[in-house]
Structure 1
Amino acid sequence: MPTTVSPTPLTESSGAPATSRAFRFSRAQYERMVDAGIFAPDQQVELINGLIVPMSPQSSRHTATVERIRRVLDAHCPADAYVRTQYPLALGAASEPEPDVAVVPGSLEDHVDAHPTHALLVVEVADTSLAYDRNTKRPLYATHGIATYWIANLNASQLEVYTNPEADDYHTKRTFAPSSSVPFADAVIAVSSLLPDRPST
């Protein structure tokens, strides 16, 4: 039987243009759409604050950096957590982002029937998505209590580290160059091991 999902229309007070009809979906509605196969296999989207947002295509530098970070974090991950790459996080009633890397508490078996609802660390790799990762993803992760958020800024070849979430933002931001190190769990990680070299010009 086909699945019917009724979205909630945005009101004018939500900031949506009066000339367009935008809709917000709950996370439960979105997951029913996923289960029903409404999205094509090659259609990559995520749910952000009730809006279904298309995800940008990934460059080779982006995918290589995701894998570098995954390998490094996996080597230092606490025993009571594990590393996921580009899989959903269930954040509240209206968001299901798919961060590039997330360190989540528990084990894989804990999330067979439902996505994780929390992460110890979330990492987004940013080239063309830098503004989105700063202005949309950052407040989302802060709102839901993600303790540490990293942006691997490929344009500047640096790591942005956000900690101490308060309301919808982080109280502390630090920027790490490739020559520096960043703490993770009980380890201190060379930033150069996380970021690729700058492309030759």
Structure 2
Amino acid sequence: MTLLDIRLLNVYEYHRMVEAGILDGDERVELLAGQIVNKATKTPPRCAVVKRTMELLQKSLGSLVFLSIHDSVRLNNYSQPEPDISVVIPDRLYYEDHHPTPLEIYLIIEVADTTLRTDCGIKAKIYAESGITDYWVLDVNNRQLHVFREPSQHGYQSRLMLGDDASISPLQFPDVSFEVRDMLRPLITT
């Protein structure tokens, strides 16, 4: 089978599959580049990092943003991922009538314990093509933060890798800063 033999699904068809019961609404899948993709298992370390990071963002940004865990964002007609964390513009209706779109997204964060290659590869490409200006991948195993900025149709033009001793500020909130280590599992010293 060649790439030309694949029929891509659009977001509308993806939603119809859920409405028709073809896909269970609780099924751990997401639509990426027109294809239904299984999501990674939520391991305890991954869940803990998501919760730690959410707490830091909540304390730092408060009511300036809406924070979402594993909620869909609609990037384009063929991609509706469910990032680990989305930092979005507040919406009076709490996005009841649509999923956040790139113009409403400040920051996307993916947490990688088994998904680093996917998060830094295909997902980074899709987020860049969609114009997500600030995309972070927290590498749980190597205690690093991959920061992707300056999106283009060819991927991100800027990619930084920060160690756990570095600090970071979201692009849209340069006065807010926190340590990478504070998002990760605390190091236990003896």
Give the TM-score normalised by structure 2.
0.88
Amino acid at match of 1:102: S
Tell me, in whole angstroms, the C-alpha distance in 2 between the residues paired with 1:35 and 1:71: 34
Q: Does 1:73 align with 2:73?
A: no
In 2, Cα distance between equivalents of 1:42 and 1:164 = 34
Alignment of 1:23-34 (within 5 A): 23-34=7-18
Contact kept in structure 1, 2:31 and 2:37, CA below 8 Å: yes
Query: Are the counterparts in 1 of residues 52 and 183 from structure 2 also a CA contact under 8 Å?
Result: yes
Q: Which residue of 1 aligns with 2:150?
A: 164
Equivalent pairs: percent with the same residue?
30
2:75 is aligned with 1:97: no
**Equivalences for residues 111-130 of structure 1 within 5 A:** 111-118=95-102, 119-130=105-116
Partner secondary structure for residue 24 of structure 2: coil
- Residue deviations 1:71-115, cap 9 Å, x none? 111222264421111010011111100000010112262410211
Secondary structure (helix, strand or coil) at the match of 2:47 reads: helix
Where structure 2 has 5 or more consecutive residues not aligned to the other structure, the ranges are none
1:69 maps to a residue whose letter is T
Q: Which residue of 2 aligns with 1:87?
A: 71
| Matching residue of 1:176 | 162
**Deviations for 1:24-79, whole angstroms, at most 9, x for unmatched residues?**
21111001112333223552100001000011111100011111111111222264
Greater mean deviation of Cα atoms: 96-105 or 165-174 = 165-174
Structure 1, unaligned runs of 5 or more: 1-10, 17-21
Does the CA-based 8 Å contact 1:46-1:52 persist in structure 2? yes
1:47 aligns with 2:31: yes
Q: 1:79 to 1:191 in 2, by over 3 A?
A: same
Which of 35, 45, 56 is 1:61 aligned to? 45
Alignment-derived partner of residue 136 in structure 1: 122
Q: 1:110 to 1:24 in 2, by over 3 A?
A: same
Sort the Cα spacing of 1:155 and 1:198 in 2 relative to 1 into closer, same or farther, 3 A. farther
Q: Larger radius of gyration, structure 1 or 2?
A: 1
Structure with bigger RCO (C-alpha 8 Å, 6+ apart): 2
Task: Return closer, same or farther for 1:161/1:36 CA change in 2, 3 Å cut-off.
Answer: same
Between the aligned partners of 1:167 and 1:24, the Cα distance in structure 2 is 19
Structure 1 residues 78 and 51, CA, compared in 2 at 3 Å: closer, same or farther? same
RMSD value, Cα: 2.1
Closer/same/farther in 2, CA of residues 99 and 169 from structure 1, 3 Å limit:
same
